[in-house]
Amino acid sequence: MHSLVFIKQVPDAAQVRINYETGTLIREGVPSIINPFDAHAIEAAVQLKDKYGGNVSVISMGPPMAKEILKKALAMGADKVFLLSDMVFAGADTLATSYALWAGAKKVAEEVGSIDIYWTGKQAIDGDTAQTGPGIATRFNIPLVTYAVEIKEVDKQNKKIKVSRLIDGGMETVEVPLPCLITTEETINTLRYAPLPYLIKAAKTSVVLLNSGNTEIDAEQCGLKNSPTKVKKAFTPPKREKGEMLEGNDEKTLNALYDKLEPILKQCGKL
């Protein structure tokens, strides 16, 4: 059972502030972390390895400093880590990103053996798109299982997996053949503290660097230039102003509150 986890380096949302004058995020001095949903994907892959054997590889795309999160992935139990780092990838939208990660994943499989399960977090906390996982699964033409909350059953013999996933207003359990791609919710597991042997391994293992030179990545499908979507402008939403304090808390006040909320309730289809 070999796994490959796609992870993204994101700024720690808790420490990002906003420059309201320039309309940009202040990232200076903000530590980078593994996208929290991706951390749960690593944990899920490591738990399956502990149970069924095999290896766990992790890949990320980003600047050289993204090596740091790959070191953390090793400390979480990954065996091999890869960084796709090349200027040709810069400015990619989700279509170009899923292309590069897919092409990089094929290279990883050459090194570690054929992959049974590809994993990624349900979305990244900076872009919030949730589009890269579905994009990679489509490029591989393998079954996609998004919003996974529980690995129910692994049938190693017949190469099948049963996964519970969130759907609108409920949950469903699906069975798919391997290989497949699973995107994880935070609730799929609880992150553990890195055990000492993993920490030692992390210190000893180096990050394998991949770029357009040592992979078969077509630069004509990468980066800003080959991304169909472009950013026209970025701006900060107006700062939330202090609202209206309603006088008292009697029936009259609550009726007034209802009147203010009525148009919204209508919009939500509650009326």
Partner 1 sequence: MIKQNITEYNNVWVFIEHNKGKVELVSLQLLSKAKEIARDLHCDVCAFTVGDNVKPLENEVAEYGAKKFYIIENSALKDYRTEPWRDSISHLISKNKPAVVLIGATALGRDLAGTVATVLKAGLTADTTALDIDPETKNLLMTRPTFGGNLMATIFCPDNRPQMSTVRPGVFEAIKNPSKMEIIKDKFSITEDEIVKKIIEKVQTGEDKLNLGFYDIIVAGGKGMGKKENFKLLENLANVLGGTWAVSRQAVQMGWAHHTRQVGQTGQTVHPKIYIAAGISGAIQHLAGMKSSDIIVAINTDDQAPIFEIATYGIVGDALKVLPKLTKTFKGKLKI
Binding mask 29-68 for partner 1 (x = CB under 8 A): ----------------------------------------
As measured in angstroms, the least distance from the Cβ of 194 to partner 1 is 19
What token pair was written down for 161?
């997996």
As measured in angstroms, the least distance from the Cβ of 200 to partner 1 is 29
* Among residues 22, 138, 206, 214, the one that binds partner 1 under rule CB under 8 A: 138
By the rule CB under 8 A, 14 interacts with partner 1: yes
Give whichever of 139 and 201 is closer to partner 1, judged by the CB atom: 139
What token pair was written down for 265?
């309730």
* Among residues 65, 87, 203, 246, the one that binds partner 1 under rule CB under 8 A: 246
By the rule CB under 8 A, 26 interacts with partner 1: no
Q: How many residues does the chain have?
A: 271
* Among residues 34, 103, 149, 202, the one that binds partner 1 under rule CB under 8 A: 149
* Cβ neighbours of residue 97 closer than 8 Å, sequence gap 6 or more: 61, 89, 132, 135
Asked if 26 and 16 touch (Cβ cutoff 8 Å), the reply is yes
By the rule CB under 8 A, 125 interacts with partner 1: yes
- How many other C-beta atoms lie within 10 A of the C-beta of residue 127? 15
Strands 3-7 and 56-61: parallel
Q: Stretches 57-65, 192-200, 208-216, 232-240: which one binds partner 1 (CB under 8 A)?
A: 232-240
In three-state secondary structure terms, 221 is helix
As measured in angstroms, the least distance from the Cβ of 229 to partner 1 is 4
Binding mask 161-200 for partner 1 (x = CB under 8 A): -x-x-xxxxxxxxxxxx-------x-x-------------
Q: How far apart are CA 128 and CA 124, in angstroms?
A: 5
By the rule CB under 8 A, 220 interacts with partner 1: yes
As measured in angstroms, the least distance from the Cβ of 265 to partner 1 is 7
As measured in angstroms, the least distance from the Cβ of 76 to partner 1 is 18
Longest dimension (CA), the chain: 72
What's the first-to-final CA gap in the chain, in angstroms?
52
Q: Stretches 40-48, 54-62, 92-100, 204-212: which one binds partner 1 (CB under 8 A)?
A: 92-100
Binding mask 99-118 for partner 1 (x = CB under 8 A): --------------------
* Cβ neighbours of residue 78 closer than 8 Å, sequence gap 6 or more: 5, 42, 45, 46, 56, 57, 58, 70
Question: Which residue in the block uniquely carries the two structure tokens 């790959």?
Answer: 70
Determine the size of the site formed for partner 1 (CB under 8 A).
87
By the rule CB under 8 A, 132 interacts with partner 1: yes
In three-state secondary structure terms, 163 is strand
By the rule CB under 8 A, 221 interacts with partner 1: yes
Q: How far apart are CA 6 and CA 123, in angstroms?
A: 11
In three-state secondary structure terms, 36 is helix
